[in-house]
Structure 1
Amino acid sequence: MTQELKQQFTERIIELQQRVEAIHQDFAQGRDADWSEQAGERENDEVLNALESEAKVEIQQLSLALNKIKQGNYGICEGCGEAIAPERLNVQPAAIKCVQCAE
């Protein structure tokens, strides 16, 4: 089970890193000289920045989960020390707290 999780998390991290790289490449392409085009590009930049931020947060969370698997304490709540419900981990695999402590 943990080997499957490690593989899933690693694959997702690679996917997210590729997304971040694609965003960086888009920014590196420069902008159009036309003012109306630049306005649309600025809106696109805001969306890309938000997507990049979300990807980086998820990479960080998955990296933390991988470390927890390595240390043997994956699925243990950092708040109370009890096991995190499998249902919660299915929804949020990088969860570090049980539902009660997260509230």
Structure 2
Amino acid sequence: MSEQLKSEFTQRIVELQKRVDSIHQDFANGRNADWSEQARERENDEVLNALESEAKVEIQQLSNAITLIESGHYGICQTCGEAIAKQRLAVQPAAIKCINCAD
């Protein structure tokens, strides 16, 4: 089970990194000379920055989850030491706290 999770998390990290790379490529393409088009591009930049930030956070969380899997601590609350419910991990695979401690 843990090897399967590591594989799933690694695959998701690769997908997210491709998204980040695509965003960087979009920024590298430069800007249009038309002022109205530049205004639209700036709005697009804000969305891309938000997507990049979210992707980087998820990459970090998944990397941390892989480290926990490797150390045998995945699925254990880092606050109280109890098992994190499987339902919680299904929704939030990178959860580091049980639902009680997360509140």
TM-score band, normalised by shorter chain: over 0.9
Q: Which runs of 5+ in 2 are unaligned?
A: none
Normalization by structure 1: what TM-score?
A: 0.99
Matches of 2:79 and 2:10, distance apart in 1: 26
Q: Which runs of 5+ in 1 are unaligned?
A: none
Give the Å deviation of 1:33.
Answer: 0.5
Give the equivalent residue in structure 2 for 1:48. Answer: 48
Normalization by structure 2: what TM-score?
A: 0.99
Give the equivalent residue in structure 2 for 1:57. Answer: 57
Give the equivalent residue in structure 1 for 2:74. Answer: 74
Matches of 1:79 and 1:98, distance apart in 2: 8
SS at match of 2:76: coil
Pairing 1:10–2:17 present = no
What percentage of aligned pairs have identical amino acids? 73
| Paired AA for residue 10 in structure 1 | T
Give the Å deviation of 1:74.
Answer: 0.2
Count of aligned pairs: 103
RMSD value, Cα: 0.3
